[in-house]
């Protein structure tokens, strides 16, 4: 299912929406998880550990992809956003999303994933809001994504709509 996000926050200026540098930002302090309290961070640095990303995707049942191709996809992404927590001085990846773009008008969001242990806690929403905010700060006006039927309501609740202009996407797949 293809979604479109086409909302402009006219109450904020470009500079208010734009971070001047990539940084780790504390998102949630003291989230209880498995009898311990952890701090959740969000980042837009494109320094993902590919093995951790593969483990995250594996945790939600996604089909394995060649790491070489995942690396190329990350290198060619316009924005990469992810969630992690620190434990014993190590980062643990718990959420991820990325976007590709024409750097002018359009962007498409890909690979939105939250570890099952952390789902239904608002983290997916925070991840998507940050990604959309970053895209809008670059003056991207049309944001699309593709979603499985079981998560349609999640994206609708974020303000995305299903194919508002009746445009039908087309795909080409190798035989």
pLDDT 10s digits, 69-109: 999 999 999 999 999 998 888 889 999 999 999 999 999 99
DSSP letter assigned to residue 123: H
- In which domain, by residue range, is 37 found? 2-162
Q: Minimal CA–CA distance to 155: which of 163, 145, 142, 165?
A: 145
Residue 171 inside a domain? The answer is: no
- The verdict on whether 41 is a catalytic residue reads no
Residue 170 inside a domain? The answer is: no
Structural domains in the chain (count): 1
What percentage of residues in the chain have a pLDDT greater than 90? 53
Residue 103 inside a domain? The answer is: yes
pTM for the whole thing? 0.81
Question: In the prediction, which pLDDT does 30 show?
Answer: 84
Q: What is the CATH number of the domain that holds 149?
A: 3.40.630.30
Banded model confidence at residue 22, pLDDT cuts 50, 70, 90: low
Q: Measure the CA dihedral 157/12/145/33, to 10°.
A: -60
- What residues pair up with 4 in beta bridges, in sequence order? 144, 161
Residue of 41, 87, 155, 173 marked catalytic? 155
Residue 22 inside a domain? The answer is: yes
Helices (H), the chain: 14-17, 50-59, 67-75, 123-137, 152-156
Helices (H), 31-122: 50-59, 67-75
Question: In the prediction, which pLDDT does 99 show?
Answer: 96
Residue 21 inside a domain? The answer is: yes
Q: What is the pLDDT of residues 113-156, one digit of tens each?
A: 999 999 999 999 999 999 999 999 999 989 999 888 888 889 99
What Å distances lie between residue 135 and 4, 90, 146, 151, 169, CA to CA? 13, 29, 17, 22, 22
Residue 107 inside a domain? The answer is: yes
Q: Which residues of 95-124 are buried (b: 16+ CB within 10 A; e: fewer)?
A: bbbbbebeeeeebbbebbbbbeebeeeebb
Residue 167 inside a domain? The answer is: no
Question: In the prediction, which pLDDT does 24 show?
Answer: 84
What Å distances lie between residue 31 and 35, 40, 41, 124, CA to CA? 10, 7, 11, 15
């Amino acid at each position: 299912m293809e979604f479109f996000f086409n909302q402009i926050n006219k109450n904020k200026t470009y500079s208010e929406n734009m971070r001047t540098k990539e940084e780790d930002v504390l998102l949630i302090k003291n989230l209880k998880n498995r009898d311990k309290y952890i701090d959740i961070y969000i980042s837009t640095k494109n320094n993902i550990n590919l093995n951790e990303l593969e483990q995250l995707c594996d945790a939600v049942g996604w089909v394995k992809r060649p790491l070489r191709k995942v690396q190329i996809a990350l290198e060619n992404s316009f924005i990469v956003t992810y969630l992690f927590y620190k434990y014993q001085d190590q980062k643990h990846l718990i959420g991820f999303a990325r976007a590709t773009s024409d750097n002018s008008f359009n962007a498409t969001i890909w690979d939105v994933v939250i570890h099952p242990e952390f789902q239904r806690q608002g983290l997916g929403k925070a991840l998507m809001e940050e990604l959309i905010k970053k895209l809008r700060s670059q003056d991207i006006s049309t944001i699309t994504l593709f979603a499985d039927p079981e998560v349609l309501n999640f994206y609708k609740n974020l303000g995305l709509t299903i194919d508002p202009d009746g445009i039908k996407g087309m795909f080409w797949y190798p035989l």
